[in-house]
Amino acid sequence: MSDNEKEEARNLQMEFEWVLHDEIHPCLQQLRSILTECCSRFPMALFGNDQQCKVDRFVFSSPHDQVKCVVVLTGDSITNAEVTFKVQRQQNVSMRTSIQNDHPWKLQQIQDAANHLQQAIAHIDNVDRNYLFKTSEEVLHILANILGCLQRSRSSLIVPKKKTIDDLMKSRNMKSLNPNLPENLAISFYIQSYKLILAVYQLESTHGNVKYESQQAECNVPWLNDALILLTIALQLCQRLKDKISVFSQYKDFTVGSRVPSVMGLN
């Protein structure tokens, strides 16, 4: 190895050790602050936050007022709702149902997102602040765990799980409705990005085949928008740190306190 190559290797080694000793822990703490702020946006107590469940009232809008709905969201559940919609192909027929406090409609997506968010913070807290990292692999392992949690938390709010009509009809949430809907009708509340959506499904059986038509109403939920922005910022920060560490991971000889490693395959 020439003198220039040795100098390049020494500089890379010094930069590697600086990143491990001086950048990882501050970055993890910055990440934790962002995630704690994100937790505070959720309408229930998370990660040691003893706040009471927040109560919000939302009025839905739909094209041509085919579906009307007003809900009270308490924490991760709809604790009160009034739903009215016009039956497809029977525009003079309207259906009405409600949700009462004693049988709330659970929004599992909110709970799932909160659980993954708390797991991400737990991964950070499991790292001793005085621990001296020695290899890029151990840092990448921690960051991969955090990134996985953040991606799952964000996806829980952006991409609702697909359910069959049969699943919707048999859902325990349908038992929250009073009065119950006829067997050919079903409704579903779900989160999609920063919106709470109500979907109404009408089933039709033709020659043994079951088809359905749907209508929707929606409302904006401000805290969801805030939480998604903070999750996105956290993901970007975590990914940038992972990318920086990944640069060093290609040099397998790099460990803290190691001798000058080989660089670019040069010996």
The predicted-structure confidence for 181-218, as pLDDT tens digits, reads as follows: 888 889 999 999 999 999 999 887 776 677 788 899 99
The mean pLDDT of 127-142, rounded to a whole number, is 86
Rounded distance between C-alpha atoms, residue 110 and residue 212, angstroms: 27
Handedness of CA 142, 143, 146, 147 (dihedral sign): negative
pTM of the predicted protein model: 0.83
Contact (Cβ atoms closer than 8 angstroms) between residue 202 and residue 118: no
Check residue 259 and give its pLDDT: 41
Question: Residues 6 or more apart from 36 whose CB is under 8 A from it?
Answer: 47, 121
Determine the residue type at 135: T
Angle subtended at Cα 144 by Cα 157 and Cα 149, rounded to the nearest 5 degrees: 25
Three-state DSSP at 46 gives coil
Express as a percent the part of the chain with pLDDT over 70.
82
Rounded distance between C-alpha atoms, residue 202 and residue 175, angstroms: 17
Angle subtended at Cα 65 by Cα 59 and Cα 68, rounded to the nearest 5 degrees: 40
For residue 4, name the pLDDT band (cuts at 50, 70, 90): low
For residue 66, name the pLDDT band (cuts at 50, 70, 90): confident
Mutual angle of helices 24-41 and 108-125, in 10-degree steps: 150
Express as a percent the part of the chain with pLDDT over 90.
51
On the question of pLDDT at 164 being above 90, the answer is: no
As a whole number, the mean pLDDT across the chain is 84
> Which segments within the chain are labelled E, that is strand?
55-59, 67-74, 77-87, 90-99, 105-106, 177-178, 185-192, 195-206, 209-220
Rounded distance between C-alpha atoms, residue 106 and residue 176, angstroms: 9
* Chain CA centroid to CA 217, Å: 22
What is the DSSP-derived secondary structure letter of residue 21?
Answer: I
Q: Is the peptide bond before 179 cis (omega within 30 degrees of 0)?
A: yes
Check residue 74 and give its pLDDT: 93
The candidate with the shortest Cα–Cα distance to 13, out of 266, 253, 265, is 253
Angle subtended at Cα 181 by Cα 178 and Cα 187, rounded to the nearest 5 degrees: 95
Angle subtended at Cα 196 by Cα 202 and Cα 76, rounded to the nearest 5 degrees: 110
Check residue 263 and give its pLDDT: 37
Contact (Cβ atoms closer than 8 angstroms) between residue 7 and residue 14: no
Q: Which two tokens stand for residue 56?
A: 């919000």
